[in-house]
Amino acid sequence: MKRARRTIAAIAAIAVVLTLSAAFVFVALEADHDCCGHGCTVCSMMAAVKNVIKAAALITLTMLIYETTLRLAERVKDVLICRRNETPVAMKTKLLN
């Protein structure tokens, strides 16, 4: 199951990288095209590509924030659990005073 998830994640990552690479190449090649004015198909395609790039950037930023928040919460939880369990009774310490 874990291997299948990794494979699916790798395929999805490759698809995203290829899509964004193709988008950047298209924008680079058509940046100085001869625009025919209103209703130019190249301009409308470039606008669509820019929207794809913006969406990918937003998704990437959201995933980074999500992962960072999860890792931070996990560390805080570990610290709180460790401190909560460090009582003399939990550590089975003899109190001989």
Per-residue pLDDT reduced to its tens digit, 57-84: 898 899 889 989 988 988 888 777 766 6
| Single pTM value for the model | 0.57
pLDDT tens figures, 41-57:
888 888 888 888 888 88
Q: How far apart are CA 6 and CA 11, in angstroms?
A: 9
In tens, the pLDDT along 24-41 reads 888 888 878 778 878 888
Neighbours of 42 (CB within 10 A): 14
- For the beta carbon of residue 30, count every other beta carbon within 10 angstroms: 14
For residue 63, which of 7, 16, 3, 8 has the smallest C-alpha distance? 16
Q: Could you state, in order of their start, the residue ranges of all structural domains in the chain?
A: 2-84
The structure tokens listed for 12 are: 């999805």
Q: Which carries the bigger pLDDT value, residue 83 or residue 4?
A: 4
Contact criterion met (CB below 8 Å) for 26 and 41 = no
